[in-house]
Amino acid sequence: MKCAFCQKDIPEEVPEKSCGQCVGGCRKVHCPYCGYANPLPSGWLERMFGRNDDNQTDGNNE
């Protein structure tokens, strides 16, 4: 996924350090480049709306 702040690619496996305050687990991914907390869509939302295709926009992606 792309960071919503700096728009850099966040690797799939980011070592997540959640604050542990949220009931039901952490639903955020902190960008390793700028620290912005990005919302992490749940499985049902991704199934319903499809995966984020931000990085497919230019058609030159990997």
| 43 part of the interface to another protein, by CB under 8 A | no
| 21 part of the interface to another protein, by CB under 8 A | yes
Residue 18 · residue 26 · CB < 8 Å = yes
Element (H, E) at 37: strand 37-39
Residue 39 · residue 28 · CB < 8 Å = yes
CA 53 to chain centroid: 12
d(CA 45, CA 51) in angstroms, rounded, equals 9
Smallest gap, in angstroms, from Cβ of residue 31 to another protein?
A: 9
| 6 part of the interface to another protein, by CB under 8 A | yes
| 16 part of the interface to another protein, by CB under 8 A | no
Give the interface with another protein as residue ranges (CB under 8 A).
4-9, 11, 13-14, 19, 21-24, 27-28, 30, 32-37, 39-42, 45-46, 49-50, 52, 54-55, 58-62
